[in-house]
Chain A
Amino acid sequence: MKKILTLLILILLITCSKESGSDTIVSVVDATPVVANSSDTSSNNDADSTTETNTSDTSSDSESASFDRKAMLENWVNNIIIPLNEDFKTKLNSLKEETSKFKTSPNSENLKLVKEKWLIAYKSWQHIEMFDYGKAEEIYYQSKMNVYPTDSERVERNISSETYNLDNANNNDAQGFPAIDYMLFGIADTEEKIIEKFSQSDNKYISYLTNVIDKMYSVTSEVSSYWTDNKDSFISSTENTATSSINKVTNDFIFYYEKGFRANKIGIPAGVFSGTTLPDRVEGYYSKIYSKQLALEALDAVENFFSGKKFNSDIKGESLETYLNFLKSDGTDLSKSISDQFTIAKEKINSLNEDFTSQISSDNNKMLITYDEIQKGVVFLKTDMLQTLSISVDYIDADGD
C-alpha cells in the first residue's frame, strides 16, 4: 500500500515537472507538439548523411538511416543565412555610398546609379525577409525594411517637419525600400524635378533619404551580427519545441511564403482579399517596372531555402527537402510535388507583365491564376509538409487528448 502511494507521488512529481515544460509548446493536433521527426539529433556533422551533394533522395530506408538535423541547421545558418546577410549588408553599403555621391553632385547620372544600387539591394533583401528570427524578430526588422504601400504623405510630412523618429512603429510605412522607391521615383513627375528636390538648399529631401538608408544599414548590421554571434546556439537547438531553431525557422519560412510572398506581392494587389483590385499595393509601386523582378527573386529565395542551396553556389546541403525525403511516410514524393509547384508558380509569374500594376488593369485574371498556383504551394507546405515534420503551425497553449 505504502509502496504504491510513494510510487504514485514520485511519478506525479517527476511527470509534473516534465509536463509544465511541454505544456507551453503544445500543438493543437490531437496530441503532439511541434516540429520535426526521427532520430539522431546530436550526432556530429556528417555522421551518415550527405551534406555536400545534391541530395534529393538521402533516405528511403528509415530503419537504418537517420537524419542529421544539426547538419541542416548548419547549412541554413553557415551557408545560407549568414552569407545572405553579409551580402545584403554589402549591397546596402554601396547604396549608402552612391547616395552620398548623389548628395554631393545631384545629377541624372548619379541618380541613375542610386536607383541601380537600390534595386540590387532590394533584390538581395528578398532573400532574407523570411528569416524573422532572433534579433530580426525582436526589432521588427521586416517592418522597418519593407512595409508597402509606403505612406507617401507621411514621408512628405517627415521631410518637411524634419522631426521624426524612425524607431517609432508609426513610421514603419515611411521608411525602408518602399519609402526610397517613392523618393527616387515618385516625389515628382519628371526626373529633372526629382533631382531638383534633392538639390534643394535646405537639404530636406536628401537628408531624409540618407537617414532612411542609414537606418536600414544600422538595423541590418544589428541583425547580421546577431547571426554571426549566435550561430552556435542556433545550430545546437535541434530539439522539437516551439522555440527551437528548426521549428521557428520552418514556421517563419511557411509564414513568409503565405504572407510576404503570396499575399503581399500577388494576392492583395490582385484583390483576392478585398473583391476589388488594389493596384497601388504592388511592391515597387512608384518605380513601376520592378514588381515582377522582385516577386521572381522572392520565389528564388523560397526555392533556395527549401532545397538548401548554398549562397552563390549550386551545391545543396541538408534542407527541408532532404528532411522530407528522409521522413516521407507513404512513398509519394512530397518534396518533388512542392518543388514542382514552385516551378509552376514561377512560370505563371514569368507570364505576367513586368509591372504588376499594368497587369492588374489590363488582365487581372492572369494575376489570379498566378495566385492560385502559389496557393497550391501553401496547401502542400501547411498540411502535407507540416504533418510529415510534425510541426505545429503556431505555438498554441492547450492540452491534447
Chain B
Amino acid sequence: MITLNSYLSKTYGSSPLIVFRIGFGLLMLISLIRFWINGWIEELYINPQFHFSYYGFEWVKPLGNFTYILFLICGVSSIFIALGYKYRFSIILFFLSFTYIELMDKTTYLNHYYFISILSFLMIFLPLNIRFSIDSYQKKVSYNKVPIWTIDSIKLLITIVYLFAGIAKINSDWLLKAMPLKIWLTSKYDLPLIGETIMHKEWFHYLMSWGGMFYDLLIPFLLLISFTRGFAFFLVVFFHVFTVILFPIGMFPYIMIFSALIFFSSKFHEKIIYNISNFLDKLIKSKKIFKFYNTYNIKNTKIIYPVIVLFFIFQITFPLRNLLYEGELFWNEKGYRYSWRVMLMEKMGYTTFKVNDLDSGKSFYINNRDFLTPFQEKQMSFQPDFIIEFAHFIGDYYKKNGIKNLTVNADSFVALNGRRSQRFIDPEINLYLEKRSFKNYNWVLPFNDEIKGF
C-alpha cells in the first residue's frame, strides 16, 4: 500500500496532458469534417433503409436528418476540448455523441473508432484543462504538475492496444503463411518504385508480417524507455505512414502517431506549449494574470480511482473473451471485435437468403440489394451476427407483407485468407427461429481448417 500511495502522490509536469488535449480535439475535428465532406453521413447513416445493430444496442438508430446535428454536436465538442472550454462537459458530450454515432450501424465498425470511444471515456476523468485552456484562463488558475498516474493511464491504454494487436498476430496464418498480407501487398502492384519490384515477393510478405508483429509487441516498451524513445517514434511514424500508403485506413495512423507523443517528456511538451503560446501572443495581446499553483489535486478520488481501475480491468479482460468460445475465432467471429484484431483477415463472403412460405409451399430467394447498400451487403455476407440479424429483418418484412408462416434459410459461402470458399451457414437451419446471444452460434458450420495461435 505504501508503494501504491507513493505512486498515487507522485507528480509530473502537466504539459503532456495539455498537448494531448489540444491534439485530440483537433484530430477529432478533422476526422469529423472529413467524414462529413466525404458524404459518408448520408451514405452510411441516412440512405440505408436498414441498419445493423450491436447486440443490446438495437435502440441506437440514425436520427434521420438530425444525424447531421449529432455530428455537429460532436464536432463542436471537439473544438471545445481543444480549447479547453467547459472541458468536463465537452468531453462527456463528445464521448456520448461519438459513441452514439458508432453504435448506429455496426457495418462501419472499426477498431480505431472503438479506441476513440474508450479513450474519450478515460479522458472524462483526467484533468486536461488545468492549464493553457479557456477554463484555466477564466478561473485565472493554472497548474504545472499533475499526479503522474493521469499521464500513465493514457500510456497504459495505448500499450494495451499495441500489445493485444501484437498478440493477435501470433497465429499460423499471419506468421507461417504471411496471410492476408500476401494478398494485400501483392495487389499493390501499382505503387511507384516498390509496386513492381518487391510487393509481390514472398520474402517481403513474411518480412512485413513478422515485422508487424514485433512492431506491435515492442513499440510500447521502446516508447517507454527514454533511451530508445526517439528511435521508437521514428518507427511509429514509418510504420503508420506505410499503412497509409498501402491501405485505405482513414485517420487511424495519424491518431496513433499523435498518441505516441504522450510518451515524451514534459520538457518536450513544454516546448510545444511555449511555441503555441508564442504564436498566440502574436495574434492576441493578452495579459497573463494567472495564479500559478504547483500541483493539481484530483478531486473525487473515491469515485475516480475505482472507475479507472474497473476500466482497465475491463480493457485487459474483454479482448480475451474469445477464449470462452469454441471454434475458430476468424470463422465464427465470436469475440473478434473490441479486441484489437486489426487487418488479420481477408474474408470474402457470398450470402443469399431463401424465404419459404410454409402455407403455400412456395419459396424464393431475395435480392440483398433491395434492402442493403453494397457496403452493408459485403459486410453482412461473411459475419454471422450480421447474417442472423438480416435473416430476422427479412422474416419480419415478409411476415408484414402477408406470409404468415415462413422460414428463412441462408445459402452462404465464405473464403478466408486465401483458402477456397466453404459453406458457411447451415442451409437446413431456419434462421428466423435462431436468436442472437452470447452463446456459440450453432448455425455456423465448422471451419474446415485450423488456424493455430491467438
Residues of A within 8 A of B (CB): 1, 4-5, 7-8, 11-12, 14-15, 18-19, 22-23, 25-43, 62-63, 66, 69, 238-241, 267, 271-276, 327, 329-330, 332, 334, 337, 375, 378-380, 382-384, 386-390, 393-394, 396-401
Contact = CB atoms under 8 A, between A and B. Distances in A.
Nearest to B449: A330
Given A19-B248, A19-B250, A329-B183, 4 more contacts: A39-B195, A267-B365, A275-B357, A275-B363
Interface range for B? 35 or more
A398 B108 contact: yes
B420 A273 contact: no
A327 B183 CA distance: 9
Nearest to B250: A399
Closest 5 CB pairs of A and B: A399-B250, A390-B187, A275-B362, A239-B190, A39-B200
A245 B45 CA distance: 31
Contacts of A386: 348
B214 interface: no
Q: Which residue of B38, B342, B367, B421 has the most chain A CB atoms within 10 A of its CB atom?
A: B421
A31 B247 contact: yes
Given A272-B365, A275-B357, A383 B348 contact: yes
Contact of A397 (B38, B195, B201): B38
Contacts of B110: 399-401
Interface in B245-265: 245-254, 257
B182 interface: yes
A115 B365 CA distance: 36
A182 B170 CA distance: 64
A29 B345 CA distance: 8
B189 interface: yes
B237 interface: yes
21 contacts: A7-B237, A15-B241, A19-B248, A30-B346, A31-B247, A37-B200, A40-B200, A63-B202, A240-B189, A267-B365, A271-B364, A274-B364, A275-B364, A329-B179, A382-B348, A383-B413, A384-B415, A396-B374, A397-B43, A397-B375, A399-B248
A394 B374 contact: yes
A379 B351 CA distance: 9
Contacts of B247: 31-32, 400
B444 to A, nearest CB: 16
B415 A39 contact: no
A39 B40 contact: no
Given A1-B272, A390-B187, A18 B196 contact: no
A118 to B, nearest CB: 31
Contacts of B244: 15, 18-19
B24 to A, nearest CB: 15
A44 to B, nearest CB: 13
B39 to A, nearest CB: 8
Nearest to B342: A401
B200 A66 contact: yes
Contacts of B271: 1
Interface of B: 38-40, 43-44, 108, 110-112, 179-180, 182-184, 186-190, 195-197, 199-202, 233, 237, 241, 244-254, 257, 268, 271-272, 342-350, 355, 357, 360, 362-367, 373-375, 378-379, 411, 413-415, 418-421
A271 B363 CA distance: 9
B375 A37 contact: no
Given A7-B237, A31-B249, A398 B195 contact: no
Q: Which residue of B190, B244, B343 has the most chain A CB atoms within 10 A of its CB atom?
A: B190
Given A15-B253, A40-B189, A62 B183 contact: no
A398 B245 CA distance: 16
B361 to A, nearest CB: 9
Given A18-B245, A399-B252, A8 B257 contact: yes
A329 B205 CA distance: 13
B189 A63 contact: no
A238 B196 CA distance: 12
B40 A388 contact: no
Contacts of A238: 190
B319 to A, nearest CB: 15
Contacts of A8: 237, 257
A95 to B, nearest CB: 34
A334 B350 CA distance: 17
Q: Which residue of A12, A31, A62 has the most chain B CB atoms within 10 A of its CB atom?
A: A31
Contact of B364 (A11, A32, A273): A273
B348 A29 contact: yes
Contact of B190 (A41, A271, A388): A41
Contact of B420 (A19, A27, A239, A332): A332
Contacts of B179: 329
B420 A240 contact: no
Contacts of B253: 15
A401 B379 CA distance: 13
Given A1-B271, A30-B343, A400-B110, A11 B200 contact: no
A398 B44 contact: yes
Contacts of B421: 379-380, 383-384
A18 B268 CA distance: 30
A14 B40 CA distance: 23
A401 B349 contact: no
